[in-house]
Amino acid sequence: MKIGGLLIIFLFSLALHSQPSTVAADYYNKGIASYNTKNYGGAILEYSKCITEDPLFSKAYYNRGNCYLIQKKYDEASQDFSEVVRLDPNNPKGHLYLGYTSLLQDKLDAAIMSFDECIKLDATMTKAYINRGTAYMKKNLFAKATEDFTQALILGDNSAACYSNRGYCRKKNEDYIGALADFNEATNLDQNTISNFIEKALIYFKLEKWPEAIAEYSNLVRKEPSNAEHYHNRGYAKLMLEDLNGAHADFSLCLQISPNHKNGLNNKAYTSFQLGKFEEAYGDYTNLIKTDSKNASFYAHRGTCLLELEKYDNAVDDFSTAIEYKKDFAEAYFNRANSYTKLLDYKNACKDIKTSADLGYEAAFAHVNNLCN
């Protein structure tokens, strides 16, 4: 997520009640000259001399505050903009920059108060709405943030960042349709910010619009072909549409990029099994066991692969391990009984099928009499 449209630092001219002395004006002009050559340290020095000569010259505090902002010296900038507000309380830009500096310091309540003052003095100050919206967003006050970003758009901001921020707030308020509209605008305006495309895809997931999600992740794959998550998520959307082959292909691509992607391993194992690729599924569950050696479900699934591959002794071993880690694993008892049956070990098969039935596994009930007689 891209937080807040950043203010562009300009040396605004402020209409003030006082004029500096000749000496102060000379220092002030030298400060502007240094600023224009990006010699911000030199500009600060000249503005400081100006302020020493004329402590009531608000423009010098304002411009020095801008230099401190560029240098990320927020405490010093805050002091200067506070002085601007004290000397010229009716100038909205002083409040705007004091609020912006507070926002950069994560002093959110102070920032909101300054933006409130700015808006009272000039209700058309777009940046005040944008930055107050950002402060509200950081405080998780998403409804208020949405109002401010909307007002900024009404006033003509129309930036990708403003649409993106409003979209994020709308999503947090579960207005998914509104959020989707905003992220669409953001991506139309800015094709390079990947997070906006991801947000669109995630909303399609939330709304279970799988074809649209696939289209978004296909776009993301083109933009970031080495991002395993995009392949995994596109695969999952295909899985929801019962496109097992497409899902399996995407999960495989995910694992080529990130071999230890746990969800990728899980879902590839599932699709391999569902497609009857039991050797492959066996390898997938083996890889999953490497990530979690005490996961009963992984052993049970691998045992089922072995059962399908007619490797009954090995299947018994895996089902036994699954039961070791999960004593009431009814399905594992059932499948181990099946494996014992293939090995003609009816005594153990009977014992397991009874245990499975006692644990409530419905499929076991029909086999108890056959196996135990």
Is 1-155 CATH 1.25.40.10?
yes
- Do 1-155 and 313-373 fold alike per CATH? yes
**239-254, pLDDT tens digit by residue?**
999 999 999 999 999 9
Q: Does 311 have pLDDT greater than 90?
A: yes
pLDDT at res. 370: 83
Alpha carbon distance 322, 318 (integer Å): 6
Contact between 94 and 77 under an 8 Å Cβ cutoff? The reply is no
Out of 1.25.40.10, 3.40.640.10, 1.20.1250.20, 3.40.50.9100, the CATH code matching 313-373 is: 1.25.40.10
**CA-to-CA dists, residue 232 to 196, 201, 238, 242, 256, angstroms:** 18, 13, 10, 15, 11
Q: What does the domain layout of the chain look like in residue ranges?
A: 1-155, 313-373
**329-367, pLDDT tens digit by residue?**
999 999 999 999 999 999 999 999 999 999 999 998 988
Of 343, 275, 277, 269, nearest to 300 by C-alpha is 269
**258-308, pLDDT tens digit by residue?**
999 999 999 999 999 999 999 999 999 999 999 999 999 999 999 999 999
Q: Does 13 have pLDDT greater than 80?
A: no
Contact between 69 and 48 under an 8 Å Cβ cutoff? The reply is no
Token pair of 322, please?
């699954």
pTM score: 0.80
Of 87, 151, 139, nearest to 113 by C-alpha is 139
Strand locations in the chain (E): none
Token pair of 272, please?
């391999």
